[in-house]
A and B are shown apart, each in its own frame.
Chain A
Amino acid sequence: MNESSDHLLRSRRSSQSLFSRFQVAGLVVLTLIAVISKFYLPRLIPSAVWLEVPLLLTIYFGLMRPDPVPALLFGAFVGISEDSLSPANIPIGMYGITKTLVGYFAASVSQRFNVGTGVIRLILCFFFFVFHAFFYWVMRRALLDQPVPFDTQQTLLHGAFNVAVALPLYLILDRMKLADES
């Protein structure tokens, strides 16, 4: 076992132990804040409709938690919370399924790669945003037969914006984690 693999294992073990300190209540509060931000922020700043704080939180939890089961369950919880505030013509479960998959894949990726560095996290964040938007669009067309337009250029642009928001957000969450450790 070389030095880099030792570092990787230490890092994973450290993050695992750190993340386990996130209590359920804290996660619920974070989810609530994320959902409210998506619910209310566009009223204050109409151009912030592209902001996907719940998705960023799901990705962060998946990347920091190598075990896919809690990550997918957290994704399902966040998604269903969003679904319950969605328009009544969209049944509950659309965001739930999408974010379940995002949480699972994020945790699976974190099992195989070192996602501790900021650049990799941001690249993955961009990828998962596009995946989330595309999969949600496919589900609305396929399962609900709702002809919703999909704007590729706009999706990529919004993905870049969300990455820009994820950069300070993940730093804050990392700090919270360190504070919790101490």
Chain B
Amino acid sequence: MDAIFNRYRSYRSLVVLVVVVMAQVLYLAYQVRTQKDERLIRVWAVSAVTPMAGIVEAIRHNTIGFLKDYFLLLDVRDQNRKLKNDNDKLRMENVFYRNQLNTAEHARALTLFQAKTPSRTVAARVIGDSTVSTAKAVFIDRGSTSNIEKGMAVVTPDGIVGKVAAVYPLVAQVLLVTDSTFKVGVESQRGHIHGALNCGSGHCVVEQIQNEEDVAVGEWFYTSGEDRIFPKGFPVGTVISVQPGNGMKDVRLNLSGAPGGAEEVLVVLDGVHQPIPTAVLPEDKMAPPLPPPPDDRQTTSAQPGTVQTEADKLVQKYEQLGKEEDHVYGAMNSNMPNFNVKPVPQQATPPPGAPTAANPATKQPVKPLGSAPVLGAPTQLANPTISTKSLTPTKPAAPKAPLPLGSPRPKPAANETPAVPPPTQPQ
């Protein structure tokens, strides 16, 4: 009997080990098979740990920044002993209020986002991490008393954070999107290509995008709403690399929400799907195309400025008079034209893009001498010796032709200004 008892004692530790391990394995199998989470143990542990963590976090949040600045100010005071104590106090107060202001600004950003988004959300603060280093989860200071339920989406104004994995009375556990078991349905902004975000391999990859699909670097991905967790239209991140793979593309994302570093988050109580913004990516923004360049031949032919000599001017005047009086030079039975009539002044055809009377808004830019041509400015004339005054719809200066004897001399009109000679171009 003693021998049996001694033998049992020698194997006692091994028996206890087997019993303890087997009990835990069976309990584990029960949880996996029934998909039931052991709530009682978790509630006890969370209730025991999170209040202390909450107190520590509150102390840290409210005092560490202040104390840090206080010690900084002590250093300043040591270096500047001549400064008065009142000045130090004012500085400390200033730093304190600045910290308060920063906190308020952050809260204001959350409030603005809450007001902007159609989904109903509640703000929460992250108070602790998970104990499993390979699993990405955090605890927030809102629980079932704040109407938080398991499966709700957790976001920030910058992007998605995770989903509520477990709810306790005063706290909730959020499984981050960077966890290896978490997948999010996403959709690209430009091509509306659907995929599944998976951050399990250390990088956030959008899976199930075929090689034929067009995804560009820098393109935004938004939640597609297909995972039934995140409402459609929340920003997820931007593409940092696209590599063709074996049938499917390797699209890597840079998450915009910084799930691991978020301190304040929003829990979506009632999600509302939103359309994915259709804003054009900065890379795709293009300046409006320039108008087509003017045809040099048309421009030069439309210009009466090709006239060079007095003889040319005279020929042009007679041709115009002939047209007005239906006289064809050199034709038989054609009336004799009256060369004393002044020809009707022709409207100069402005070049495309030049300011006109119908479009006074298009101002002609002043072109400095020797500067580069300005885009959109009227084209320069082919012949630089001709003044731009010929383009203006003014009456051409009538040549001082000698009148026939006995004909009445025309009186100059009162409002008629003497023709100004074209400015001579400096050679």
Contact = CB atoms under 8 A, between A and B. Distances in A.
Nearest to B174: A87
Nearest to A136: B134
B343 interface: no
Nearest to B43: A84
Interface in A36-72: 36, 38-40, 42-44, 46, 49-50, 52, 54, 67-69, 72
Nearest to A89: B181
A93 B27 contact: yes
A143 interface: yes
Nearest to A50: B133
Given A87-B173, A88-B175, A92-B42, A35 B131 contact: yes
B173 A91 contact: no
Contacts of B134: 136-137, 140, 148
B132 A86 contact: yes
21 contacts: A32-B49, A49-B133, A72-B16, A85-B45, A85-B49, A85-B130, A88-B37, A89-B135, A91-B32, A92-B27, A93-B28, A94-B28, A97-B25, A100-B20, A101-B17, A107-B13, A137-B134, A144-B32, A147-B180, A148-B180, A149-B200
How many residues of A sit at the interface, in one of the four size bands? Answer: 35 or more
Nearest to A145: B32
B42 A40 contact: no
B165 interface: yes
A92 B200 contact: no
Contacts of A72: 13, 16-17, 20
B28 A84 contact: no
Contacts of B175: 87-89
Contact of B46 (A40, A76, A85, A89): A85
Given A69-B12, A146-B181, A84 B42 contact: yes
B190 to A, nearest CB: 31
Nearest to B180: A148
A84 B32 contact: no
A49 B32 CA distance: 27
A10 B31 CA distance: 46
A106 interface: no
Given A73-B16, A85-B42, A87-B166, 17 more contacts: A38-B131, A40-B128, A50-B133, A69-B13, A82-B131, A84-B42, A85-B45, A85-B131, A87-B130, A87-B137, A87-B175, A89-B181, A90-B135, A93-B31, A100-B24, A104-B13, A149-B180
Contacts of B130: 39, 85-87
Given A72-B17, A86-B130, A92-B27, A39 B42 contact: no
A67 B46 CA distance: 31
B52 interface: yes
Interface in A82-124: 82-97, 100-101, 104, 107-108
A149 B201 contact: yes
Contact of A84 (B45, B126, B127, B135): B45
Contacts of A85: 42, 45-46, 49, 130-131
Contacts of B38: 91-92
A125 interface: no
Contacts of B24: 76, 80, 93, 96-97, 100
B139 to A, nearest CB: 8
A147 B200 CA distance: 8
A92 B57 contact: no
Contacts of A73: 16, 20
Interface in B158-211: 165-166, 173, 175, 179-181, 200-202
B395 interface: no
B53 A36 contact: yes
Contacts of B181: 89, 146
Contacts of B200: 147-149
Contacts of A107: 13
